[in-house]
Structures are given as C-alpha cells and as structure tokens.
Structure 1
Amino acid sequence: MAVAVTLVAIGSAAFAVAFRASLSFIYRMLGGHDVLDAFMRLPPYMRVLVPAVGGLLAGIVSRVATKGGVGDVMEAVVLGKTQLSLGRTAWKALGSWVAIASGGSVGREGPLIQFGGALGSMVARFTSLSNRSTRAIIAAGTAAGFTAAYNTPLAAVLFVLEIVTGVVVLEALLPVMVATAIATALTRYFVGGGPIYGARAFTIASSPELLAHALLGVVAAFVGQGFMRLLSAGERLFARGYLQQPFRAALGGALVGLLAIKLPQVTGNGYEPLNELLDGRYSLGLVAVLLVAKAFATTASVSSGSPGGVFTPSLFLGGAVGLLFGHAVNAVGHVPGSPGSFALVGMAAAVAATTHAPMMAAVFVFEISADYAIVLPLVLATAIATMISRRLRPDSLYTAELRHKGVGWKITYEGRRFGE
C-alpha cells in the first residue's frame, strides 16, 4: 500500500510538471510567456483561427476517450465499480492540453485530477490491491493531481473529503494525506513554492466589513448558480445535433476566438487575468465586461466538447464579482476594506457555490493568499454561498455529472445515499 501511494504521488506530480512545462514551451514558441501574453501578440484573425483549430483537434482527440470527468472518479472511489482507464484518460488529457494550448477557456485541473485517479487505478491493479485499498489509492491519486495543479495540499485533502468521498473515511484519508504531501513537495521542487497567486495582505477593519462579506456570499451564490445554468444551457444547445464532433468543439473554439479579438483575457483558464485583477490593474468597466465574457467563453469551450475543468474559470468569475462588490460597498456604504480582499473572498464563495464544498473553497483561498486573517470572512462567505446554492439547486457541478449518468448522490447524517 505504501509503495502504491508513493508511486501514484510521484507519477501525478511528474505528469502535472510536464503538463505545465509543455504549455509554457508552446507559449514561448508563440512569442509570449503565458497564454494571455501570446494571444495579445497575435493578429485578430489568428485569435479566431488558433482556438478554432485547437478546438477541432481537441474534439478529434477526445473522441478516443469516453465522456466523463471527476464524476467517474467519485463513482470509482465511493462505489468501487467504475474502472478508470489510464489510456483513455491520457487521451482526454491530450485533448485538454490541445484546447488549453490553443486558448480554449478551460482549466487544467480537470486532466490532472483525472490522471491522478486513473494512475491510482492502474497501480492498484498491478499491485493486486483489494477493492477497498484500490478505492483509497484512486482517492490518493485524485488529491495528488489537485495539489499538483494548485500547490494547495490542505485544499486537495478537503477536495477528496468533501467532493469525492463525501464523508471522512480514515482508510482513505491517510493515503490521501501522504500522497498529497509527496506530490506537493515534488511539484514545489520543480515549479516553485509559495502561493500561486502571490501573498496577499488582508485585515478586517470593522464589523460592517464582515457583514459585507456575508452579503458577498449571497451574491456569489447567485453568480455561481447562473454560471452552472449557463453551462447546462450551452450543453443542451450544442447537443441539438446541428453539428457533430469534432466540429462542435471547433465552433466553440471559434466563439472564444471572436471574443478574444477584443478581449484576449478570456483565453486560457483565467489564471493570468485573475492575477492582474487582484493587483488592481484592470478598470472596473473591463472587469465587468470580462465577468460576462469569461462565463460565455468557458461555456463555449466546455459545452462544445473541449475537455477541461471549470474550477479556475470559476475562481476568475468569483474574483471579478468580489472586486466589483468591494468597490460598490466602499462607494455606497463607505465600508472600509480593500476591494482586492473582497475579490479573494469572492473567489472562494463562487467555488463553494458551484462545488458545494465550503471548507475546501475556504482553505483553498487561505492557502493561495497565505494570510491567516482572511479565514473568518472566508468561512462565513463560503458557508452562506453553499447554503443558498444548495437551496436553488441541490446538485453541484460534480454531482450533476453523476446524476446525468443515473447515479443519485446525497449526503446525510447517516452517510451517503444513492438513487435519490
């Protein structure tokens, strides 16, 4: 078991490092140091052509793999029935890589998480582990993939507990923690340590400011729900049968490219513009436009069939909402506090609204901000956002994926319930 955990952690970290390095190489070939910089250097027609061709290629590659995502990992860990194929997952990861490299508005966390889970499944088969141990190893690989993507070991553990397993299972928790530690250490050695969005200062100046963060949780809940419903509407629209794959993904890429003619910030997963937003380098008008444009760009990419995640795009949407909200309360209510601080809390609240994992979202932003003072508003805002989001729609992004497959999922005091 210990050997299997170590192999999965090392493999997941190595895959994540290679994934990142290869994307950076492509962007340097295009003359930039990241996707945003590369696209800003392209002429307008290339901003449309590159994502369209990338979407076409991603659609071709992803047809080799079965449709699925984190829901498959959840089903494999909890039910122990789904077989995760490393080969099909690798093809899907290649499709994600092509989509991301060409400017598709998708996150890289999806392929890294799924690869970690599939690698765990393969290692468990080769080492002849029992079904219970196999499920634990898959969970460990999932956490290793998550932390390799974001450099957030505590949030990775909570991702497995709140989203994948749904309950605290000690026999899964221990290998998850070990794999997370190993994968984080390796990733930091090759990529670098420290918060991926840079250290941020945060202070609570008054009680009204804390109340404002609670209200931000309410706003973020509706934004998160709106984003999820937009994704669902996009899937229904692309599924009407007018175009088949890979031409659907090509159309989705072209739509992203059309937006990128004027707004290159919509390309990629949103990491680069989110850093700019947190540093206060965007005007409020641009942030408001990007909030809408990024939601539609991500919908165009994901709903059309380009494989990838929506975790980082959700972070960007939450950060944009939080920044706008912070400026609004400062102007209207004269509430003290940095708009950038509201952006950080908005990031966590939006993720909590879409994943229904408030602790994971709060700890995630705490880890990327490296400031203990942010904990109180984070916990409050994520709890409120999750409560309201669950009232509006019981399923999260991930449980909705399971429900589409006919697997009901509900967490109660008695544990997990299926078929509801």
Structure 2
Amino acid sequence: MFDQRLNPLAAVALVLTLGAALPAAAQMQNIDKLKQMKVSGTDPNIPMVPQTGKNADQLRENLKRIKLPPGFKIDLYAVVPDARMIAVAPSTNMMFVGTRKSNVWAVTNRNSGDTATEVKEFAPSLKFRNPNAVCWTRDGFLIVVETNRVYTFPAAEFFYEGADVAVGEVVPQGELIPVDEESFNHSGRVCRIGPDNKLYITLGQPFNVQPREKLALYTKVGIGGIIRMNIDGTGREVYATGVRNSVGMDFNPKDKTLWFTDNQTDGMGDDIPMGEINRATQPGQFFGYPYIVSKTRITENGYDKDPLPANTVHPQVMTDAHAADLGMAFYTGRQFPAKYQGGFFSAQHGSWNRTKPIGARVLFTSLKADGTADRTEVFAQGWLDEDTGTYRGRPVDVAVAKDGSLFVSDDYAGAIYRITYSGQ
C-alpha cells in the first residue's frame, strides 16, 4: 500500500521503478526454478511462426534476384524473424537461431525435406537479452551468449518442445563484462567451441573508437577482443586483443587456427577503412585496433600519433569498406565442388553509412597450402538493388548443413536460406 503522503509524481516514479524491477526479478526466479527442474507455469503451447502465405511467397520471389555461380541454387528454408547466428544441431535435422531481440528460435525439419517444417521460440519461459550467439559443445550442450551472460542447455535438440528446459549459467548475469560497460552498441556476441574444447566468445567494444582511458580496462577484460574459458566458466583468459567488433569466427579444422571478421571504424569516408578477416595462430596476439585497421591509421583520439605496436598482426583478407563482414564458416561439406572444400564462406550484412550502399552478399575465400588466405570472391549477391539502393535482405551468418548445403541467415527479411549444388 502506498503511503498516503506520497505526492503523485513520486508515486508514478515508484510504480515505474517497480515495474522495471519485476521482470528482472521474475527472470531470476524463473532461472532458479529451471535449474531445479521445476515448472515455471509458462504456457507449454508455443505458437508456431507461419511458414506459408504472402510473406513466404515474397521471400521466394526476392530470391529470384540472387546471383550464384553456375550449378548453384538458393531457396527459402524457413521464415525466422530477426534471424542472426545459426547453430546446426549435431544429431537431428534442426537448428537454433539467435536474435538481437529477446528470443532464440528452434527451427525443425521433421520430414528431412528441403524446408523446415516448424519454427517456434526456444525456452519461452526465459526472456533472453540480445541472445545473438549460439553454438554447440562437443557433447551436445547448446550455448547461448547474451550481452552479459552465458547460458548452457543440455541436450537442447531433444528437450526443446515445451516452455521449460534444463538450463545452467556458465557466466551469470553481469559477469561477462563489467556492468558499467554494457551498451546497446556492438553488444551482439559470437561463440565457438575450439579444438582445445574451450568456449571462445567475441566481445565488441561499444565505441566508434574507444577513449584512451578505456584501453587498460578493455585489454584486461577482453573487450575489443576474444576471450576463452572452460565450458563450465572457469579458467577465463583473454585470447586476442586489438579487435573493434568481431561478429563472426570459426576454426579451420585442418590447422586449428581461429579466423574472425571485424567491423571497422565509421566516419572516415566511403572507401576507408577496409573491412578485415583475421587469422589467430596462437593466444596473445594483437590485431591493431585502435591504432590501425587494415592499412589505415585511426585519427580519432590521436591514435595515429602513436607508434604502431611492434606485435601487430595484419589481416589476411581486406574487404570493401563498410560492407559489414559478419558471420563466417569453413566449408566442411562434400556437396559443393572441390574448389570450395577447405575454404570458408562469410556474410556481409551491407553498409548503412556509405553514399552508395555496398554489401548484402556472401563471399568465399580459398586458402593456400600454408593455411593463409588465397583469393576472396563474391559467391552470392542480389539482396541489394544497386539501381535504387534498396535492401531486400541482409545476410548475417552462414552455416554448413549435414548434407553439405549452405544455410544463410537474414535478419532484415527474417529468413534462413539454403544454397545447394546440383551441377546442372
């Protein structure tokens, strides 16, 4: 009961404060229930995302504009709102898809056909906060990384049907980065399990160019870099630094090196700085930021006046400026021709800050015998109408299916596409 002496404005403020606190408190209580295998009370009847109708028809119509090499074909695999990073399930015909919103999608193909049969929210009794990152452990645990927390879900591909699921916290809320460093900018994480069976996570720094007073903290925490830890959250360490905002990484299965994309500085013009795809061969390497990106010195905050650190590792691939290189995956399938086997695909989300837009496409990079980058070429394009500058889609991530086809996510159109090769 409110104190009768409380003035109206104070009463409103108190109500708003309580209203904001209740969802967070309910979320913590819900997590605690699920950890104990208790029922949350959430409706177990989870609504399905419609896979037919005008929206799906238009998405298929848009795909007629996509240009691919001869013998390749692209189709709509599933309607998935806000689709971001893809984690293909290890044992079943399904995948989990992260978003920048408050949900993770379970995408199921029950009849092993060419398209998904159902898309529904995963673990709706949990309201995620920017669950961009999804990946699998070797023993079938789904990892979901939010802005400032890491979840683990045992056997998620087998126990996802209801609203309540088994859950654990690898890193509790507020302990992935300092709470004061939480931001809406560059806060979408990416995760992978490395050859060492450790969990790798990218941590973008929230500024266009970070202030000098943040450098020591960010280097220590791993913000503007990549961290790794044991799957139970212990043994955390900073693996790589000098990265502005990586939203895509994968390990080369052949030599175990870690490759990652990096989104670069805004406000320097249409054609600089170029985008980066990097290769980390060992822990502790520094990739140049904020002193240099690709071949361009950073002028903001006077970083161009500093000598370039002697241990700077330069990028393997430099891409068109501001095309927004995001997700990437080494091609481990056998369906595509031999030239694609052993290389990697990467997605360009498309520019928002160029006079003439660029990107919204999928690239392919081949490797040399020594494991370094050889040639990068456009593999799929056409989501950007170059005549009008209109986006009809914006690729985010790529993932290799069990049959060797390639999945592409699109958060603008809200879809997962499937690229196949028939040779005809």
- Give the alignment's TM-score, normalised by structure 2: 0.29
Using CA pairs under 8 Å that are at least 6 residues apart, name the structure with larger relative contact order, 1 or 2.
1
Which structure shows the bigger proportion of residues in helix conformation? 1
- Give the alignment's TM-score, normalised by structure 1: 0.30
Which structure shows the bigger proportion of residues in strand conformation? 2
Larger Rg: 2
